[in-house]
């Protein structure tokens, strides 16, 4: 089949490896995504925090610079688990907004334009399709979360020495795992909403609602029942607990409640966060639900009964 010959000819050349075909989707999607100047600008801005953190690490080890600027950040800003937890939290929430810009249109577009039969009539399975679509968010968010996080960790290790690196390996794994859990959750949620809500704006609003409306309910529930178990409804609280658990800063007892009558304390109780495993469990259940919902929607054709 040559341009000039204009005749049909079978393809007999080499084929790409089957395992790598899901990566075709993000490769082509990025071309479209980075066409938007707004997105590209926002993506560039998301590297500001890693830059600031890198400067802080550098300053902490540069006594001459500190002396010139008459700063004493050595004691004020320790480079420890909390430092990296803060980094993961900041980048995680920036990642949320990036996912909000990229995610909701991915599956919705294909469903609106009946594109799914075109994918699935090829040697390309439904799971490869879902993984391909998710990897758009996963790859994009990785570049602003755990990749710069680990670079910061290596920078600190380089400046502090081998002993610091060997003592703080769990921080590196917490950066990677904590970011990955968040990215996976965002990727699954955006794709699921995208599959069920075809209108992009509604899908974006749905994603925001999914994060903020349950948090309001959780706050009301906590207030009414004097508990923190309502946090299991809030995705933000769940991921914060998971991050804190991974960085070793999770505290279960968060406050004390006293019931006072006529100036006398008649009941005293500790308000506790739900155990860490409960947060993991709820996140796991949310991911499983997303996968189930995706499997119901990602089909070449829907059979109308």
Partner 1 sequence: MTLDATVTSSHLNDSAGVITLDNLSVTFGGRPILKNLNGDLRGRAIGLLGPNGAGKTTLIHTLLGFHQPSAGTARILGSDIRGDANQIKSLIGYMPERDSFISKMSCIHFVRFMAELSGLPPRAALERAHEALFFVGLGEARYRNVDTFSLGMKQLAKLAQAIVHGPRLIFLDEPTNGLDPPARQRMIKMIREIRDSGQANIVLSSHLLRDVEECCEEILILKDGRLVVYCNLEEERKANKKFLMLETRGDLKSFVAGIGSMGCECAMTSDHRLKIILQDGTKIRDLYKLAAGSQVQIRRLTYKRDSLEDIFLKAMENGIVSEARP
- What are the residues binding partner 1 (CB under 8 A)? 1-3, 6-18, 21, 24, 28, 32, 109-110, 112-115, 117-125, 299-301, 303, 305
**Shortest distance in whole angstroms from residue 43 CB to partner 1:** 19
Q: Tell me how long the chain is.
A: 305
Which C-beta is closer to partner 1: that of 114 or that of 249?
A: 114
Contacts of residue 27, Cβ cutoff 8 Å, sequence gap at least 6: none
Minimum CB distance to partner 1, residue 194 (Å) = 13
Least separation in angstroms between CB 154 and partner 1: 32
Shortest Å, Cβ 132 to partner 1: 9
Nearer to partner 1, 123 or 263 (CB): 123
Q: C-beta of 293: minimal distance to partner 1 in Å?
A: 20
Tokens of 280: 């993991």
Is 156 within 8 Å of 79 (Cβ atoms)?
Answer: yes
Residue 46 or 106: which CB sits closer to partner 1?
A: 106
Distance CA 187, CA 130 (A): 10
Q: Which is nearer to partner 1, 1 or 76 (CB)?
A: 1
Rounded Cα distance between 129 and 216, Å, is: 34
* 83 versus 129: smaller Cβ distance to partner 1: 129
Q: Within the chain, what is the greatest distance between any pair of CA atoms?
A: 98
User: How many CA atoms, within 13 angstroms, populate the side-chain half-sphere of residue 301?
Assistant: 4
Please give the C-alpha separations between residue 76 and each of 71, 72, 218, 222, 224, in angstroms, as whole numbers: 10, 7, 34, 34, 38
Distance of closest approach, residue 32 Cβ to partner 1, in angstroms = 6
Name which of 22 and 247 has its Cβ closer to partner 1: 22
- 138-141 long-range Cβ contacts below 8 angstroms, 24+ apart: 138/183, 138/184, 138/187, 139/26, 139/30, 140/30, 140/33, 140/43, 140/98, 140/99, 140/102, 141/95, 141/98, 141/99, 141/179, 141/182, 141/183, 141/186, 141/187
């Amino acid at each position: 089949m040559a341009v000039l010959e204009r005749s049909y000819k079978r393809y007999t050349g080499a084929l790409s490896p089957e395992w790598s075909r899901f990566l075709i989707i993000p490769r082509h999607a990025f071309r479209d995504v980075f066409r938007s100047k707004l997105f590209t600008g926002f993506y560039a801005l998301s590297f500001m925090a890693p830059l600031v953190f890198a400067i802080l690490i550098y300053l902490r080890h540069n006594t001459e610079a500190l002396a010139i600027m008459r700063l004493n950040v050595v004691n004020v800003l320790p480079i420890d688990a909390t430092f990296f937890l803060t980094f993961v939290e900041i980048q995680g929430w920036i990642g949320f907004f990036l996912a909000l810009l990229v995610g909701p249109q991915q599956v919705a577009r294909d469903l609106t334009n009946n594109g799914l039969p075109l994918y699935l009539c090829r040697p390309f399975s439904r799971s490869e399709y879902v993984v391909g679509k998710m990897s758009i968010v996963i790859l994009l968010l990785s570049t602003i979360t755990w990749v710069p996080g680990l670079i910061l960790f290596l920078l600190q290790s380089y400046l502090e020495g081998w002993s610091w690196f060997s003592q703080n390996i769990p921080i590196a794994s917490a950066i990677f795992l904590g970011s990955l859990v968040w990215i996976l959750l965002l990727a699954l949620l955006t794709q699921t909403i995208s599959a069920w809500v075809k209108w992009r704006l509604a899908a974006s609003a749905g994603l925001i609602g999914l994060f903020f409306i349950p948090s309001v309910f959780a706050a009301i529930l906590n207030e009414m029942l004097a508990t923190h178990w309502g946090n299991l409804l809030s995705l933000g609280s769940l991921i914060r607990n998971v991050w804190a658990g991974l960085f070793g800063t999770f505290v279960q007892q968060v406050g004390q409640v006293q019931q006072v009558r006529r100036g006398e304390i008649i009941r005293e109780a500790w308000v506790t966060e739900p155990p860490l495993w409960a947060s993991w469990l709820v996140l796991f259940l949310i991911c499983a639900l997303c996968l189930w919902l995706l499997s119901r929607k990602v089909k070449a054709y829907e059979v109308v009964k």
